[in-house]
Copies of this chain bind each other. A is one copy, B any other.
Amino acid sequence: MQRFWTHGYHATSMDDLVKATGVSRGSIYADFEGKRDLFLCCLSRYQDEVVTPAFAQVEQADAGLETIEAYLLFQLSHLDDDRLPGPGCLVANTMTELGPHDRDIHDAVNAHNVRLQNGFYQVLKRANKSTSPLSPDQLGELAVFLTMSVQGLWSFSRSAESVEPLRQYARTLIDLVKSRLQ
């Protein structure tokens, strides 16, 4: 999974995976139908092992906008300036590399994005207790906005040489969304 995450699907060979995992070629093919099937399983595993532990706080019943910011800053805390460029996000990387060309992968990516949107939407709904609240449609649009903005953050981390602009982006994003809700 790490190898797919850092290098992408096409640039990762089965040899690379055999070496990186220490698992024999025969065993891989015993367990998966082929490279693509293995990749789909890695996407699924990434969701369970990486996304869920991190995003769960946003999906909590009491999560606020600060929780979204904390989620982003926590993800960025894995990077410091000598760990850049970072691997980004496997799903985000995959959206770019394979999203246009593979239906099943597109669907997996889409499911991930819907999950993020729903999490953000719930937070926005809670945060929408103001004197002039936004409509549900407007909140939905803001949730989509957040989901797409976060995608930009991961893409940039693939090329970034310093982590501070990434952090600043997260803070600015949350600030702007906050001011939209007031």
Residues of A within 8 A of B (CB): 6-8, 10-11, 85-88, 92-93, 95-97, 99-101, 106, 109-110, 113, 141-142, 144-145, 148-153, 155-156, 158-159, 165, 168-169, 172-173, 175-177, 179-180
- The count of identical subunits is 2
Least CB separation from A85: chain B residue: B100
Task: Find A169's partner among B7, B87, B144 (CB 8 Å cutoff).
Answer: B144
Task: Find A180's partner among B101, B165, B179 (CB 8 Å cutoff).
Answer: B179
- What B residues does A10 contact at CB under 8 A? 8, 10-11
- What B residues does A85 contact at CB under 8 A? 99-100, 106
Are A150 and B152 in contact, with the CB atoms below 8 A?
yes
Question: Which of A87, A100, A110, A113 has the most CB atoms of chain B within a 10 A radius of its CB?
Answer: A100
- What B residues does A165 contact at CB under 8 A? 144, 148
Are B155 and A92 in contact, with the CB atoms below 8 A?
yes
- What B residues does A176 contact at CB under 8 A? 176-177, 179-180
Least CB separation from A150: chain B residue: B152
- What B residues does A150 contact at CB under 8 A? 152
Min distance, Cβ A26 to any Cβ of chain B, angstroms: 26
- What B residues does A145 contact at CB under 8 A? 168-169, 172-173
